[in-house]
Amino acid sequence: MSRSMKNVLGTAVVLASLVFGVAACGPEYDRTEISAVKGQGTLGGTVNTQRLDLPHGLAITAHIAVWNDDNEQMPLGVRSKDPSIVEVNRAVNDRNYTFIGWQQGRTEIEFLADGNVVLTIPATVTAQPELP
């Protein structure tokens, strides 16, 4: 291989590395925040970044946001691995989600940022508490 060909190839490799490096240096997922959790009075139900607990037949809503390392909100998705146990729906307002406990059991809830799963929490649907 000629010296000029080696120089051209070397320059191409350096340029490709720089282009790839710049493209790969965008903002990345940083954290998930869950707030404004509302249930149905004293019947229970909670969701946070550690777990979801919900009585059978009840629903709770929460405001959920995922943030990147530039402190900007990212596109969000939330889904249940088993919607027959816990169903997840978008609520009326942006980034508000409703969790419905359809039957007793356990599943997992996945939170997605830019289409990638960034957090998975266990979800448990328990029997309804007895009325006082």
Residue 102 has pLDDT above 70, yes or no: yes
pLDDT for res 8: 47
Could you read off the pLDDT of 3-45 as tens digits, one per residue? 655 554 556 555 555 555 444 567 899 999 999 888 866 677 8
Q: For residue 92, what pLDDT is reported?
A: 84
Tens of pLDDT along 55-90?
999 999 999 999 999 999 999 999 999 999 999 999
Backbone angles phi, psi at 57, to 5 degrees: 85, 0
Report the DSSP pairing between strands 59-68 and 96-101: antiparallel
Q: Which CATH class is domain 29-126?
A: mainly beta
